Structure 1
Amino acid sequence: MGLRRRIGVALAASALFLSACGGGGGGGTQQPGSGAFSERPAREGVSNTAPGGGEALAKGSPAKGGTLTYGLYAPAETLDPVAPSGNGATPIMMAVYGLLFHADKDGNVVPDMAEGLETPDSGKTWIIKLDPAIKFSDGAALDSAAVKKHYERIAAEGSRSPSAASMRAIETIEATDPTTVTLVLKQPSMAFPKVFLGVSGMPVASFIPSPNVPVDQMSRNPVGAGPFKVQNYSPGGDANLVRNETYYEEGKPYLDSIKFVTATDTQARLAAVKSGSIDIATTQSGVDILDAEGAGVTALIQPNATYFDMLFNNSKAPFDDKDFRRAVIQAIDLNALNDAIFNGTHTVMTGIVPPDNSNYVDTGWPSYDLEAAKKGVEAFKAKGGDPTFTLTSTSPPEFMKMSQLMQQMLAEAGITMNIEVGDQPTMVTQAFSGNYTSQLRFTSVSAETDGYIRNDYRTGLPSNLVRAGDPKVDQILDDLTKVETPEERKAKLAELQEALTEWMPLMPMIAHHNAYLVGSKVNQFPGGVTTTFFHWEDVAAAS
């Protein structure tokens, strides 16, 4: 049996172009060793060996046994990978299901629990090869029938999965033999493997559930082939996982169990890590990283593509008017927000693609210009528009402070913004249903740039939360599924960014500083390409 993350098994040569232009870990944050953290002292066991150059922790050899507590930044409402949800449940699903495929530091789709992926005919047919040794924790084989059943459920009529549209691009799904799944697309697409990386941080097509679990039980009692099993779980509450003794990678996982607790308040989560009641948590704030390290907590900075954004519902007034969208963007001083909330330690956004992304081009995205914003508001009012709207935000301190400062800035331009505080699950439901005007949230655009933009902005996709489309953007996204060289892809991505700037469907704001905060009970932590995905089997507690 081969090891997971088989370096020798990659996509067929005809598919390698998919992310050949990708940069070293994507984008929205300053990378390890840059900006506010460029002069960090050496720390015991910390090295830049995680995927994409992120920081990993290894204090000697990992010991087997022990329990660690992980603080979820959002509630885990369901463990059914097909059900629409936020990212709160992702770390739990990673531990339960594992991943069929994952993205490497350059955004390439590479095998994880799968053996390989190839296309013999330039994108019309895709063949997944499975490892015959891998079984679900209930003893069922992770075979072609299980994968076929899962993909058919994603694509089924009535499915609310954000990956449903991508799966409906498949004409036939065949379990060719127990270890081979053959997918024939309706139209050739060299970009199709991006489906395995998922939408908005949820790789639905890579989370394969046991076929023995009834759909109505999958939310609460899922079974996967990952390193851990669910002992008990309450939707929206805590989850306790125990070691999967039949896990295919010998000697792993190291931990006996993991406890997941919901800790949505960023300051409370940081305090819990500092006190030792939570052993692992994430942060998006450079200020919190410095605070944690000052208290003796180890911060492992990870490359990531996430950033704060103001999401506009382009199908509703006032954001159905591009001139009003521009006025809002020009009225908000991002440098002042960065200084006030993050002590200037972050990077402000200058387009929908983060500036650290190797595909980024300067398209002249509108910047702070109060006088221009005032003129835009007056022109909008002259057309009969009402420059009043509601922004929905969650309650963590940085979100509240950001909302309040933006409210003041917009008022100076003649725009009235009301603030509504919502919980994360409700905001997710509202975003997917279009039942909102604007939201303060965060999004991602990684080195695998076109897939992220397609999911977020292609007309008609369930994952298109701006609730509108742009014909020029759609055409470029369609063209990107046909390009055959890295040079063509990079040129098309430049065109795509120009078209997005012309459209302005939302407001990119401030890039994150993503890090794992790990307490003294953690002996080994692998880091990841992002702070959403890492391999739980490699995490170890201090002996």
Structure 2
Amino acid sequence: MPRGAIPAVGIAAALSIALTSCSSSSSPSSGSAPGTGGAASGKTLVVGVTSDPDTLFPWKATQFQAVNVLQNLYGTLTEFDKDLNVVPGLAESWQTSDDGKKLTLKLRQGVTFADGSAFDSQDAKSSLEKIMDEKTAAVARASLSSVKSVEAPDAGTVVLELTGPDAALPANLATVNMAMLSSDDTEEKLNTTPNGTGPFKLGKRVASQSITLARNDAYWGGEKPKVAAVEFRVIPDESSIVSAMQSGNVQLAVFNDPLVAQTAQGGGTLTVTKTPQLNYHVLQLNAQHGDLKDVNVRLAIQCAIDRKQVLDTAALGEGEVTGPITAPAFKSDPNKRPCPARDLAKAAEYLGKAGKSGGVTVKTIVSQGEYATSVNEAQNLKAQLAEAKINLELEVLESGAFVDRWVAADFDAAVALNGGRPDPDGSYGRYFTSKGNLNKVAGYSSPELDKLFAEGKATTDQAARKAIYEQVSAKLEENAPWIWLFSGYTYTATTSGVQGFVPMASGSLQYLRTTSVS
């Protein structure tokens, strides 16, 4: 991490080429973005979504729809700009000590929560300490593993004392799972009445139908949001969302299914923007369960899958086969893995080594509703693996039930779409380290991975970090705890009159605050 007031992730150049829909912009700290002219209006922007948020508590949100809503209600100490550089958020600047063991953040003044109470260093200290407390069960707890203590020497300053340098920390502080909460609030209260510092506040919620966010006129970010409200309207099927847009009932939607995007584009009345994503489609194997405890069974599954066939079948070839790490600055080479191409003979050999030449059955959960290609992916994987005597026994669940089972690690395998991050530690430190708070979900860790992740956090030189995470990627592929498949695109559809929305490679909807509708 460069020493100075505003460290950066260092991937802007790679992403700015890909995000062709974006023109020049200032950082979120100024409250502006591409195409954001004009004053705030009394309009409501209706966004079509396929599922209802499963939680309104930001520290436990893993479902994409919950994250998309909450990042518009809550603020974080740092933020990402459109190119995923780390920029000021509730912390207007920060400084790392020469030895890398202290991070001092200067907080923005005059910030209030939705209930009108002031945000200060005691709220930041309380938030970070509660996230670090294992009893909170915060999904980002592992991202603060380098933090020994949090001090608030005055109302505008927070000091993090670290065990050593942590190059990933500024980026990790930018996720909504690190949202700053009032020290007076509780999880129970916030699940019904969110109280954040974001550009919007909760307006009205109708369970399984809609959630409406009202403009926060006290928002600290310079300009107020361009619209009076954003309504997330639940329409379970992406094709039905297209119909709602064509009839004028919905103004914006983000699709995962390229076939739906083609339909939306083909009608001529909608504008569709295609954005490459850091997220990745994956078959997660729980290495703590049954036959999957044997690495040879997991490698047999890896060798029996043609990833390009999954991509072509489920997503019309719209994307690329990927390894574990999708961040451009650290990207894995998918050819550096056992069986980079499908090899049924090798799969049979691995099953033989495991003493399972007759085959295995793997109970597999699949989400229906959170993203559009899940069931097609699962069915293609089932068909391919059957040829290798590996039976995927599929259980299709609605989004909320899938998340509950996933968080509880109640599966042998899971067909999943996981959010990627600009920094590999943020992506995987919580999964594949022995003390990672989501290690139970990952089902795998090792002393070698623990050492590599620790080195990755402590190393500030970018080239050296890249070499470390290449080793992380190799260890993950060689042990096949998960089978990484492909990364795809999102397709942002808007009706005429919608301006100022910026699609992001992280999938974030943070630029709803700069979106206008006429």
TM-superposed CA distance for 1:443, in Å, is 1.7
CA distance in 2, matches of 1:283, 1:334: 22
3-state secondary structure, aligned to 2:500: strand
Task: Describe the shift of the 1:50–1:306 C-alpha distance in structure 2 as closer, same or farther (beyond 3 A).
Answer: farther
Match of 1:328 among 296, 301, 306: 301
TM-score by length of 2: 0.89
The residue that corresponds to 1:428 in the other structure is 403
TM-superposed CA distance for 1:85, in Å, is 4.1
* Alignment map for 1:136-215 (pairs within 5 Å): 136-167=113-144, 169-198=146-175, 203-205=176-178, 207-215=179-187
Provide Cα deviations, 1:68-118, integer angstroms capped at 9, x if missing partner.
Answer: 112234421221112354222122212211343123466543212320122
Match of 1:403 among 359, 374, 378: 378
TM-superposed CA distance for 1:142, in Å, is 1.6
Task: Describe the shift of the 1:227–1:468 C-alpha distance in structure 2 as closer, same or farther (beyond 3 A).
Answer: same
The residue that corresponds to 1:7 in the other structure is none
3-state secondary structure, aligned to 1:345: coil
Does 1:305 find its partner at 2:278?
yes
CA distance in 1, matches of 2:434, 2:349: 31
The residue that corresponds to 1:440 in the other structure is 415
What one-letter code is carried by the residue in structure 2 that aligns with 1:31? Answer: A
Higher RCO by CA contacts (8 Å cutoff, separation 6 or greater): 1
What one-letter code is carried by the residue in structure 2 that aligns with 1:416? Answer: N
* Alignment map for 1:240-255 (pairs within 5 Å): 240-255=212-227
* Alignment map for 1:99-118 (pairs within 5 Å): 99-104=76-81, 107-118=84-95
Provide Cα deviations, 1:51-70, integer angstroms capped at 9, x if missing partner.
Answer: 99xxx974974662200112
Unaligned runs of 5+ in 2: 28-32
Does 1:31 find its partner at 2:3?
no
What one-letter code is carried by the residue in structure 2 that aligns with 1:364? Answer: R
The residue that corresponds to 1:476 in the other structure is 452
Match of 2:313 among 340, 353, 375: 340
Match of 1:71 among 32, 43, 48: 48
Task: Describe the shift of the 1:269–1:378 C-alpha distance in structure 2 as closer, same or farther (beyond 3 A).
Answer: farther
What one-letter code is carried by the residue in structure 2 that aligns with 1:459? Answer: S
Task: Describe the shift of the 1:122–1:87 C-alpha distance in structure 2 as closer, same or farther (beyond 3 A).
Answer: farther
The residue that corresponds to 1:81 in the other structure is 58
The residue that corresponds to 2:345 in the other structure is 371
Unaligned runs of 5+ in 1: 1-9, 34-45
C-alpha contact 1:101 1:196 (8 A) present in aligned 2: yes
Task: Describe the shift of the 1:57–1:175 C-alpha distance in structure 2 as closer, same or farther (beyond 3 A).
Answer: closer
CA distance in 2, matches of 1:93, 1:404: 32
3-state secondary structure, aligned to 1:478: helix
C-alpha contact 1:76 1:235 (8 A) present in aligned 2: no
CA distance in 2, matches of 1:313, 1:229: 38
Q: Which deviates the most, 298-307 or 415-424?
A: 298-307
3-state secondary structure, aligned to 2:290: coil
TM-superposed CA distance for 1:152, in Å, is 2.2
The residue that corresponds to 1:418 in the other structure is 393
Count of paired positions? 507
TM-score by length of 1: 0.85
Task: Describe the shift of the 1:89–1:244 C-alpha distance in structure 2 as closer, same or farther (beyond 3 A).
Answer: same
C-alpha contact 2:78 2:171 (8 A) present in aligned 1: no
What one-letter code is carried by the residue in structure 2 that aligns with 1:536? Answer: L
3-state secondary structure, aligned to 1:220: coil
TM-superposed CA distance for 1:358, in Å, is 5.2
TM-superposed CA distance for 1:257, in Å, is 1.0
What one-letter code is carried by the residue in structure 2 that aligns with 1:283? Answer: F
Provide Cα deviations, 1:187-224, integer angstroms capped at 9, x if missing partner.
Answer: 443333343134xxxx322x223344444211110111
Match of 2:471 among 491, 495, 501: 495
What one-letter code is carried by the residue in structure 2 that aligns with 1:302? Answer: T
